[in-house]
Amino acid sequence: MIDKLSWIAVYPEVVLLVMACIIALVDLAGTDARRTRTYVLTLLTLVVVAFLTGANAVAGKTIFGFGGMVVSDPMGNWLKCFATLALMVTLVYGRPYAADREMLRGGELFTLSMLALLGMFVMISGSNFLLIYLGLELLTLSSYALVALRRDNVLASEAAMKYFVLGALASGFLLYGLSMVYGATGTLDVNEVYKVIASGSVKHQVLVFGLVFIVAGLAFKVGAAPFHMWVPDVYHGAPTAITLMIGAAPELAAFAIIIRLLVEGLLPLAIDWQQMLTVLAVASLLVGNFAAIAQTNLKRMLAYSTIAQMGFMLLGLVAGVVNDNTYNAQFAYSAAMFYVITYVLTTLASFGIILLLAREGFESEEITDLAGLNQRSPLYAGVMAIAMFSLAGIPPLVGFYAKLAILQALIASGQAFYVGLAVFAVLASLVGAFYYIRVVKVMYFDAPVTAATVSAPRDVRTVLTLNGALILVLGIVPGGLMTLCANAIVATLAT
């Protein structure tokens, strides 16, 4: 019999599933090409879900349900809340773009986005290998369909095919690795896997073999090199609204399953997966930053930027287990959580400007399309400049503090190797600053390519302004969000 606690652990997911079905029915019955009713209903649902998950996070309780397969803890609830808010902002930014390109006519956009969010929730709450994988597949299958939503667009169809083929390969890696660990430990439960491995009753070689495939699958999901090959092509080929949808909120879910699998389940193998993540982080920083310099397409540049940013986030996970220093582990993981949240916030602003500048029949994807934006709209040029400077790690913006927290976690280890990683990360960030500042230079110092003024719907203008202001405010007073992340990680590791 399923107890009451089981339903308490999953009621945000139940709300999402029920409302996704209702929204699908409303879409089928609707005739409005802009899907106004569906849009409003979706936003209201996301507001309610964000409130529910936020309230659960503030309560600070950890609840296991359905025989321990599902966990509702502060870290998971905060990540769900932020993922919901990120999707809500994405829909606000993307609706005018989608309406101009007839992506709303069929009505699938809102339903698929809700199902993708449901997949993220299942991934974040999963405390069982099978449940985590089911959530991952729900997210990825919805994402494949979203990328291919413009059926008459060759680039989008090509991007969807590449995403599907490479995504299936990565899912196979992850599933094979999980099956190897299951075969060695005899359990699918994450906490039980930890106990069995910690007991020393399983051959280390078998576990490491499975771990290699798990890390490869996770690296694909976050877009870390050398498993990054899908990121530039999918970012470029997908409709820009969908690019933002797959490049923002899912990173929060990917961070969650890394914590669930590697930290909660496979922590006794930390010495092994730390080395793997170190290679991935260094490769991501090199490939992402140097490849981004050569890009003239803004979406491809931001794709390679994502690869570099995820490399920086992985450094936080690398610094998390050093000489059994529990305090440093909590500090490092909270720094990585802070980093991925602030990265999503900044990505929303940068792609929001790209979506705003896009017009019917014109994508505004090239860096040169931003030329003279300050003369056409100082507000939107300012928001984009704040986003670029934050991604570059320039104070007093939140990206600077996020990078500083990762570097402090590395240096706090007290080991020369980790200090060397910190120095390398700083040098890589200096390289990355070039292509971010280049965008600012084009906006402020190049002559505008058109004299057309930039106009935006009131909701888009309001959310964009708040988005840019948050990047600045959180950089000046980051303590609240950092404390939130630290408390969430401590509560998670304590269970």
pLDDT tens digit string along 230-284?
A: 999 999 999 999 999 999 999 999 999 999 999 998 988 888 999 999 999 999 9
Q: How far is CA 385 from the centre of its chain?
A: 21
Residue 361's pLDDT is what?
Answer: 64
User: How many CA atoms are closer than 13 Å to the CA of 62, on its beta-carbon side?
Assistant: 13
Lowest average pLDDT, out of 54-68, 172-186, 208-222, goes to 54-68
Token pair belonging to 46: 């996301």
User: How many CA atoms are closer than 13 Å to the CA of 367, on its beta-carbon side?
Assistant: 21
Distance (Å, whole) CA 283 – CA 315: 11
For residue range 57-100, list pLDDT tens digits in order: 998 888 888 888 899 999 999 999 999 999 999 999 999 888 88
Calculate mean pLDDT across residues 111-134: 93
Token pair belonging to 314: 């992985």
Which residue carries 């309560």 as its tokens? 59
* Average pLDDT value over all residues in the chain: 89
Residue 420's pLDDT is what?
Answer: 93
Contacts of 33 (CB under 8 A, 6+ apart): 99, 102, 104, 105
Distance (Å, whole) CA 330 – CA 320: 7
Residue type, 328: N
For residue range 357-368, list pLDDT tens digits in order: 887 667 788 898
- What are the C-alpha distances in Å from 15 to residues 7, 51, 77? 11, 12, 15
**φ, ψ for residue 275 (rounded to 5)?**
-65, -40
Residue 92's pLDDT is what?
Answer: 94
SS3 per-residue string spanning the chain: CCCHHHHHHHHHHHHHHHHHHHHHHHHHHCCCCCCHHHHHHHHHHHHHHHHHHHHHHHHCCCEEECCCCEEECHHHHHHHHHHHHHHHHHHHHHHHHHHHCCCCCCCHHHHHHHHHHHHHHHHHHECEHHHHHHHHHHHHHHHHHHHCCCCCCHHHHHHHHHHHHHHHHHHHHHHHHHHHHHHHHCCCEHHHHHHHHHHCCCCHHHHHHHHHHHHHHHHHHHCCCCCCCHHHHHHHHCCHHHHHHHHCHHHHHHHHHHHHHHHHHCHHHHHHHHHHHHHHHHHHHHHHHHHHHCCCEHHHHHHHHHHHHHHHHHHHHHCCCCCCCHHHHHHHHHHHHHHHHHHHHHHHHHHHHHHHHCECCECCCEHHHHCCHHHHCHHHHHHHHHHHHHHHCCCCCHHHHHHHHHHHHHHHCCCHHHHHHHHHHHHHHHHHHHHHHHHHHHHHHCCCCCCCCCCCCHHHHHHHHHHHHHHHHHHHCCHHHHHHHHHHHHHHHHC
**103 band by pLDDT with thresholds 50, 70 and 90:** confident
Distance (Å, whole) CA 10 – CA 8: 6
Token pair belonging to 223: 């877009």
Q: What is the pTM of this model?
A: 0.94
Calculate mean pLDDT across residues 403-425: 90
Residue 352's pLDDT is what?
Answer: 93
**φ, ψ for residue 359 (rounded to 5)?**
-125, 170
Contacts of 75 (CB under 8 A, 6+ apart): 256, 259, 337, 488, 489, 491, 492
Residue 323's pLDDT is what?
Answer: 55
Residue 62's pLDDT is what?
Answer: 87
**387 band by pLDDT with thresholds 50, 70 and 90:** very high
Lowest average pLDDT, out of 29-38, 124-133, 158-167, goes to 29-38
Calculate mean pLDDT across residues 471-476: 94
Calculate mean pLDDT across residues 214-232: 91
For residue range 161-174, list pLDDT tens digits in order: 999 999 899 999 99
**451 band by pLDDT with thresholds 50, 70 and 90:** low
Lowest average pLDDT, out of 79-88, 124-133, 193-202, 306-315, goes to 193-202
Distance (Å, whole) CA 168 – CA 173: 9
Residue 5's pLDDT is what?
Answer: 60
Residue 10's pLDDT is what?
Answer: 83
Calculate mean pLDDT across residues 200-219: 90
- What are the C-alpha distances in Å from 133 to residues 115, 140, 212? 15, 10, 17
> In 419-455, which positions are buried (b, 16+ CB within 10 angstroms) versus exposed (e)?
eebbebbeebbebbbebbebbbebbbebeeeeeeeee
**106 band by pLDDT with thresholds 50, 70 and 90:** low
Residue 2's pLDDT is what?
Answer: 44
Could you check whether the bond before residue 226 is cis, i.e. omega within 30 degrees of 0? yes
Contacts of 291 (CB under 8 A, 6+ apart): 232, 304, 307
**33 band by pLDDT with thresholds 50, 70 and 90:** low
Contacts of 372 (CB under 8 A, 6+ apart): 443, 446, 447, 448, 449
Whether the per-residue pLDDT at 379 is higher than 70: the answer is yes
Could you check whether the bond before residue 250 is cis, i.e. omega within 30 degrees of 0? no
